[in-house]
Structure 1
């Protein structure tokens, strides 16, 4: 069997394994792993099977063509300073796996095309207001942000990494915007992460494509964009109350689908209460544990496109394990990219925005079409 050494390195780093760990598990010297990954020589079939079991990849995976890659400096990680190289490489590996799955899906389905303007010449506040105007959102709260982004051609995948250091990241791949969301975050924090990545996609595309996706200023401005996009100035000011208490914040946060901390910050930024009131609210938020556990939590947002795709495949008798076999991946990797969605029916609530369908591809060459 043909052996592609780049795929061994990819599988190892995606699982967060060092060469030393793999060598120890195989009873080899690190030099042997280096030889495998450099293409100097290939592992024997029996040893390759063991490697596949250890790294949870089918043996056929190692015979595929070179995979696409994501240069670390082109991905908009929010907290690079807190992230180890091992964790970063695992997250980037998830992104590459998503490209493979996405190509497979787009060979079979027609999905919304990318519709993201370049707003790099605008301030975060102005960019958020302009994008809302272009998309016809006015000052209304965004109902489901993931669905909105998907309707505008953004590919949304889940990032099943048990580490809060990786909030989310976005990247451009062959002219297509991708956003990856960490599934261990609260729904409110995940929405803010998605809006943050949207800010990068519309304001920092040039920097991302040219390997300059990281700077403190870019992160601050993406946060400012997310705050303004989710909580429009006029909308927040219109709901100004006399005495702002923590209980009132918990009630109001439901309007915009944000955390109490994010709402308190935005209201303070807009001058709706004094610095003294803001400091006291922050103390109460921290004291009640609301920095990590959100009060009155909202329902998590998941991909509607992937739900409808998986439903269409289920109707054709195509299971997740079958998809994994075709792509030479483990089923866990498919599940981890697709918010853990089962191949089950799409609820009526989730069927709204992407409602136009045709038959899935069959021997006659038909297609399912997902449109806004």
Structure 2
């Protein structure tokens, strides 16, 4: 295989290194690096070795085939206004590496087929949330391990260890396969809402409609709120709300933050405007940016099964990274928080249909 400039660009984005910074570290001129990136110059092996060392990627990575990239128009970022270009490119590059891992999964295991409803052109968030719950046989019951549920329904879930609050989560379609990427820098409650928000984008904005902008974000938020906290169940469990303490005690039932439950209660008319403002003020005063009574981190059932199977074969995650010629740390980033954390009680009928090919 020849040197692949596209893979160099991906590695640079992932490591957040500018051309000048890479040129200085790898001891190449900016002009030469530009020629290499444009495909006009084939680098010598020694040069590739220095570039690989500077970027933290195996030399072999740069000689692979083109990696499918996530088109920016197809990727939704919740905090689009606060995401810097470098952060955005790094996250999108992580998605490209996730595609390689997903292809490895498909080659070695039989995964659940995607099972999402098509909301059509009207894109009513509440209606779409109820339709998907019905299609998945959830009824009005609360959802246990949300990541496990998504995986069981054919959605490929990966984590992002971006160590920044600017990249909440994002989602996209690759052909007819849905992907969700979650930033594990968040609390479990926030991560669950992020996942439901991105699920909303996948359902509401697959055809035609943009998944970016204020309207799309509002629609995805409304979907997530309705999907995680069904109106009938909320009214049944909390017909009257008297205190913030009551909300904090109840939020665990739906696995959401106190702020999200407070908003939902107000939205469906169980809190007055005065109560809503008062509870939000009290939340900020008593807890600041912390989440009261936060849940344990959720984990991935699919990856646990894969890693257990690899263990029986006397193989590890490092073997996957070596086979794909990607840094071990990048694979860890995509699985961080999904494989090593304590698992919460799973939702019923949510076991992934995973088998070895």
Task: Give TM-score, length-normalised by structure 1.
Answer: 0.90
Matches within 5 A, 1:1-372: 2-120=2-120, 121-207=122-208, 212-290=210-288, 292-339=289-336, 353-354=350-351, 360=356, 367=357
Distance 1:90 1:355 in 2: 30
Of 53-62 and 281-290, deviating more is 281-290
Distance 1:125 1:350 in 2: 24
Change in CA separation of 1:268 and 1:137 when aligned onto 2, cut-off 3 Å: same
Of 275-284 and 347-356, deviating more is 347-356
Give CA-to-partner distance per residue, 1:70-92, whole Å, 9 cap, x none. 11111111121111111011000
Given that residues 145 and 346 in structure 2 are in contact (C-alpha distance below 8 angstroms), is that contact kept between their aligned partners in structure 1? no
Given that residues 304 and 351 in structure 1 are in contact (C-alpha distance below 8 angstroms), is that contact kept between their aligned partners in structure 2? no
Given that residues 172 and 180 in structure 2 are in contact (C-alpha distance below 8 angstroms), is that contact kept between their aligned partners in structure 1? yes
Q: How many residues align?
A: 355
Question: Alignment RMSD, CA only?
Answer: 2.1
Give CA-to-partner distance per residue, 1:160-192, whole Å, 9 cap, x none. 101111100001012100000101100000000
Distance 1:348 1:192 in 2: 16
Give CA-to-partner distance per residue, 1:210-244, whole Å, 9 cap, x none. xx331110001100110011011111111225443
| Pairwise CA distance, 1:341 | 5.9
Given that residues 56 and 327 in structure 2 are in contact (C-alpha distance below 8 angstroms), is that contact kept between their aligned partners in structure 1? yes
Give CA-to-partner distance per residue, 1:295-327, whole Å, 9 cap, x none. 111111122111111111111112111111110
Distance 1:77 1:204 in 2: 13
Distance 2:169 2:344 in 1: 28
| Pairwise CA distance, 1:351 | 11
Provide the secondary structure at the position in 2 that maps to 1:83: coil
Distance 1:256 1:213 in 2: 26
Change in CA separation of 1:44 and 1:105 when aligned onto 2, cut-off 3 Å: same
| Pairwise CA distance, 1:207 | 3.9
Change in CA separation of 1:267 and 1:310 when aligned onto 2, cut-off 3 Å: same
Given that residues 169 and 180 in structure 1 are in contact (C-alpha distance below 8 angstroms), is that contact kept between their aligned partners in structure 2? yes
| Pairwise CA distance, 1:28 | 3.5
